[in-house]
Amino acid sequence: MAKLNGIKRFFGKVGRRNWIILSAVLLIGAAVYLNYLWFYDPADSIGYGENNMVDAGAAANGGADAASADADYFTAAELSRKQTRDEAIEVLQSVVRDTDEGSEEHASALSGISGIAVNMEREANIESLVEAKGFSPCVAVVNGDRASIVVSHDAELTGADNARICTIVYEQTGILPQNVTIIRK
C-alpha cells in the first residue's frame, strides 16, 4: 500500500496532463521512426525523372501504361509547343499589321517571326535526326543558345548516346554541348 501511495504522489507532482503530452510525443516519434524504416526509399534508387508509382503500374501491365504515358507526354508537349508558337506568331503579325513599315517595332516583329520560323525548322530537323538514331519519339526545344531534347528510351542513356544527340544539335544549330539538356522520358 505504501508503494501505491508513493506512485500516486509521484503522478500527482508531475501531473496527469504532462504524462498525456509525453505519451503523445513518444507515440508520434515512434510512428515517424517506423514510417521511415518501412517506407523510406532513397532518391538515388528511384533514378532521374522516374516515379515509382508509374513504374510499378507499368511493370504490372507489361509496360503498356508507361508506353501510353510516354505517348501522351510527347503528344501534349508537341501540342503545347505549337499553341505557344501560334500565339506568339499571331501577336507578332498583329504588330506588323498595326505599325508603319519603316518603324523599329515593325522590323523587330518581322525579325521575331523569322526567328520562330528558323527555330521551328531546326527543331524539326533535330527531331527527325534523333529519331533516325533510334530515340523515338523525340521533342526538341531550341531557345536562343540553349536546347532541350526529350527522348523516349528504355535504358539509361550512355555517354555515346548523349554525344550522338549533342552532335546532331550542334550540327543543326551551332549550340555547344554544355548548353544542351537531354532528358530521358
Q: Per the domain annotation, does 11 fall within a domain?
A: no
The 10s digit of each residue's pLDDT in 96-122 is 888 888 888 888 888 888 888 888 899
CATH for 146: 1.10.287.4300
Cis check: omega of the bond before 177, within 30 degrees of 0: no
As for how many domains the chain has, the answer is 1
Q: Per the domain annotation, does 65 fall within a domain?
A: no
How many Å apart are CA 122 and CA 118, to the nearest integer?
6
Q: Per the domain annotation, does 140 fall within a domain?
A: yes
How many Å apart are CA 160 and CA 27, to the nearest integer?
52
Q: Per the domain annotation, does 166 fall within a domain?
A: yes
- Alpha helices by DSSP H, 40-180: 43-46, 52-60, 64-98, 104-132, 159-173
Contact yes or no for 96/79 (Cβ under 8 A) = no
Q: Per the domain annotation, does 53 fall within a domain?
A: no
Amino acid 65: pLDDT: 60
pTM equals 0.58
